[in-house]
Chains A and B, each alone.
Chain A
Amino acid sequence: MIRLVFTIIAGVLLGGIVHLVSVLALPRIATQDAYSRLTPMTKLNAVTPLALADPNNAPMPFMDPAFALAICRYDLSGGSIKLTVPVSQAYTSVSFYTRNEVAYYAINDRSAGKKVIELDLMTEAQHNELPEDEDVTAADRLIIDSPTATGLIVLKALAPEPGLMPQAQATLAASSCKVQTEPPPAKR
């Protein structure tokens, strides 16, 4: 009897460990996460507009149907990425996600404070390699550090009324996301 009770207690304790390990492992082993869902329908290091969410066909659950959406799936191993998004009339935002869907940075048109949201995305190592004085001279250049080499940039433009959706989509179509091929200017 004692032995049975002991077995059950040991099982529950072990179960706690199994639970913790599986919760921590789930983001890594999930096959239906947003990144995996978007991989077949998006281009690497380029802006891909997503079709509007509708009941029969939505790439992800819980998408906001009032927004036009575009995805830039990035891989920083070939160099840093320059992102340019013109601001639409209503509301535009750019959110950054790691490979495992951690939203590590998001900015909207008002906090960008300009007609165009311009960002440089790089890994921490690439940021450290930047010449230091360039960091200072280009004060208005916004540099984002990505915690992972791959991930997703989600560009969103709001259509406050359904009639404004083409306008929102046109804004996103004019945005660009590409690898910076030219090496950073040498130290003066």
Chain B
Amino acid sequence: MRLILITLLALIIATAVGLGATWMTATRGTDLGTLTIGAWTARPKTGTADVDPYSRATIARSGELPVGTGDGVAFSATSDDRKRPLDGRCDVVVSGVTPAARFWTLTLYDQKGRLVANSLQRYGFTSQEIIRGADGAFEIRVASRSRAGNWLPTGGIERYALMLRLYDTPVGVATRTQRDAPMPSIATAGCP
């Protein structure tokens, strides 16, 4: 009787630990093969045939299609440079320059990867649409209310993610540091 109970307990622990760990890694992702520059994170290997099993599990669970390496690379950010989570009710400024790429797009998603509805139907910017300063740098204001210049509406949702995708770019598996890939800074400018 005691043996059965103990075996049962071990099996229950095994199921909880095993499936719990899988759920955690598939939902939040792992640090395996990630490239972090400032607030931005990319997983260049997810676009190749030697993608790690954890990324494969994450992709299968979310239902997205990763950007292939011959196509480009995707950087995502869920917090600003000071690790403060991106809040749709605050004013967030994304500014600076981007790594070398033929085109890039910056898109705002909610936590499930859906676009956020707004009256302008503006879900992001492409490198051609953006208004730049004389030095080539740009400044995007991510806010719920309309702002002058490059305004990206948040729809006032609490948490969101920004995704910067570089197309036809040398940035990839070999990239390590900010010097290879100067990413724009993300700063929370003010909260109501």
Chain A residues at the B interface, C-beta cutoff of 8 Å? 3-4, 7-8, 10-19, 21-24, 26-27, 30, 32-34, 36-37, 53-56, 58, 60-67, 90-91, 93, 95-97, 100-108, 110-111, 147, 152, 154, 156, 158-161
* B48, B57, B68: most-surrounded residue (chain A CB, <10 A): B68
Q: Shortest distance in angstroms between B19's beta carbon and chain A's nearest beta carbon? A: 6
Contact of A156 among B46, B71, B74 (CB under 8 A): B71
B182 contacts partner chain A, Cβ-Cβ < 8 Å = no
Contact B113 A61 (CB under 8 A): yes
Stretch from B81-89, B120-128, B183-191 at the A interface = B120-128
Contact code string B29-62 (vs A, CB < 8 Å = 1, else 0):
0000000000000000011110101101101111
* A54, A106, A107, A152: most-surrounded residue (chain B CB, <10 A): A106
Stretch from B8-16, B91-99, B133-141 at the A interface = B8-16
Contact B49 A102 (CB under 8 A): yes
* A15, A22, A97: most-surrounded residue (chain B CB, <10 A): A15
Considering the complex, give the chain B residue whose CB is closest to the CB of A96: B68
8 CB contacts below 8 A, A to B, read: A14-B17, A21-B18, A32-B63, A54-B115, A64-B105, A66-B126, A101-B59, A111-B70
Interface size on B, residues (CB 8 A): 62
A108 and B128 contact, Cβ closer than 8 Å, known pairs A23-B53, A54-B115: no
Q: Shortest distance in angstroms between B190's beta carbon and chain A's nearest beta carbon? A: 26
B65 contacts partner chain A, Cβ-Cβ < 8 Å = yes
* B60, B62, B128: most-surrounded residue (chain A CB, <10 A): B60
Contact B71 A18 (CB under 8 A): no
Nearest first, the 10 A-B pairs at minimum CB distance are: A18-B18, A61-B113, A11-B13, A106-B68, A15-B17, A14-B14, A106-B70, A160-B128, A30-B60, A95-B68
Count how many pairs of residues, one from A and one from B, have CB atoms less than 8 Å apart in the complex: 207
Contact B22 A26 (CB under 8 A): yes
B102 contacts partner chain A, Cβ-Cβ < 8 Å = yes
- Cα(A10)–Cα(B12), bound, Å: 11
Contact B168 A110 (CB under 8 A): yes
Contact A33 B22 (CB under 8 A): no
- Cα(A160)–Cα(B165), bound, Å: 13
- Cα(A16)–Cα(B19), bound, Å: 9
